[in-house]
Structures are given as structure tokens and as C-alpha cells.
């Protein structure tokens, strides 16, 4: 059985990520969205909130599962009994960086391959932080993230603003 892990921080998941997940689900028997519990990035959404959002927008894809992990990606991949790591590629610069990571992961476990997935050109400029920035200044983000995630992001940013005001 072919099983791929698509890892990331997903703070929040974008339409670019969703494109990769949907395409991958047609290629692999099973796709695990591996949500990294990455405190270094100081995420806006909690792990649970991010998992719930991804589960909601992928609920129509039966072979996609969302699982969170800490620590080394390769340990998670082996724990999941997956044989492929999927990484979306938006630009040439990103490819170089991802290639280095793929080599490092290959040294850790030679039996697991990294596959690069070209992103949809419509989303090559989209990233989670770009979406958070645009939303924070009241910009329109529905072209970049699914509707339900856009609503949660606007609400979250409002909550955060309120808390910051109260803390002053």
C-alpha cells in the first residue's frame, strides 16, 4: 500500500496546500497530513484548531487523515508506516531548500523517498503568513483559503486584537 505523509505547520491551511492534498489523494492509497506542533513558529492557531480546520475541508476525501506530531519528521513517517514524504514546490528557491532537506531525510532513512509536488500556479504566491498578513489588514483572503478557514481567521485576529487591547 502506498502511503504518503504531507507535513507542515498549516497555520492555516491554504488553497495551495489543499490542491496538493487533493492531487496526492488520487495518486496514493493513503495521505497523512502531518501537522507539526511547531512552537518555534509561534502559531496563531492551536494544534487542535488547525487539525479541525483541515479535517473539515478534507472531509470529502476518504483516504486523507490528519495527525499531529512533535520532533523529527522521519520518526513520524516511520511510526505511520509511510514510504513517501510529500513537499509542495512553489518556486525554484524553495526547490533548492527542499532538496537539501530531502537529502538529509534520506540519510536518516534511505527507504523513505521525498516527492516534490509542483503547486498550482494560481497559488504560487500564497503562504500561510501572507494570508495572515492580508487578513490582519482587513484584506480579502477567500481566493487563498477555503471560506470556512477565512471566517475562522478573521475571528481569531479580532479576538487577538481584543486581547491585546485589554492587556494594554
Residues that bind ligand COA (CB under 6 A): 7-9, 11, 14, 16-17, 20, 36, 38, 72-73, 88, 90, 101, 104-105, 119, 123, 126-129
CA atoms 136, 59, 71, 1: torsion sign: negative
What DSSP letter does each residue of 6-45 carry, written as one string? EEE--TT--HHHHHHHHHHHHHSSEEEEEEE--GGG--SS
- Residue 60: CB atoms within 10 Å: 7
Q: Which residue is nearest to ligand COA (CB)?
A: 16
- Report in angstroms how near the CB of residue 39 gets to ligand COA at its nearest: 12
- Given the complex with ligand COA, which of 72 and 155 has the nearer CB atom? 72
- Report in angstroms how near the CB of residue 125 gets to ligand COA at its nearest: 9
Which DSSP category does 114 fall into? E
From the list 41, 75, 81, 162, the catalytic residue is 41
From the list 15, 128, 132, 152, the catalytic residue is 128
- Given the complex with ligand COA, which of 32 and 36 has the nearer CB atom? 36
Active site residue 90: yes
The burial class, CB within 10 Å (0-12 / 13-18 / 19+), for 11 is buried
From the list 3, 22, 23, 90, the catalytic residue is 90
- Given the complex with ligand COA, which of 121 and 168 has the nearer CB atom? 121
Active site residue 17: yes
Continuous segment of H or E residues that includes residue 98: helix 92-108
Query: Cα(103)–Cα(128) distance, rounded to whole angstroms?
Result: 25
- Given the complex with ligand COA, which of 104 and 162 has the nearer CB atom? 104
User: Catalytic residue numbers?
Assistant: 17, 41, 90, 128
Amino acid at each position: 500500500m502506498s502511503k504518503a505523509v504531507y507535513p507542515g505547520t498549516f497555520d492555516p491551511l491554504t488553497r495551495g496546500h489543499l490542491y496538493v492534498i487533493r492531487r496526492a489523494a488520487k495518486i496514493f492509497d493513503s495521505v497523512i497530513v502531518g501537522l507539526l506542533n511547531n512552537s518555534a513558529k509561534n502559531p496563531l492557531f492551536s494544534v487542535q484548531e488547525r487539525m479541525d480546520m483541515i479535517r473539515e475541508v478534507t472531509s470529502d476525501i476518504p483516504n486523507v487523515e490528519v495527525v499531529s506530531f512533535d520532533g523529527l519528521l522521519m520518526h513520524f513517517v516511520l511510526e505511520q508506516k509511510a514510504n513517501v514524504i510529500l513537499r509542495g514546490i512553489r518556486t525554484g528557491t524553495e526547490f533548492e531548500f527542499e532538496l537539501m532537506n530531502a537529502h538529509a531525510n534520506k540519510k536518516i532513512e534511505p527507504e523513505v523517498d521525498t516527492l516534490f509536488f509542483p503547486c498550482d500556479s494560481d497559488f504560487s504566491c500564497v503562504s500561510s503568513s501572507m494570508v495572515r498578513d492580508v487578513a490582519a489588514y482587513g484584506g480579502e483572503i477567500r481566493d487563498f483559503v477555503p471560506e470556512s478557514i477565512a471566517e475562522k481567521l478573521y475571528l481569531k485576529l479580532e479576538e487577538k486584537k481584543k486581547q491585546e487591547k485589554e492587556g494594554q
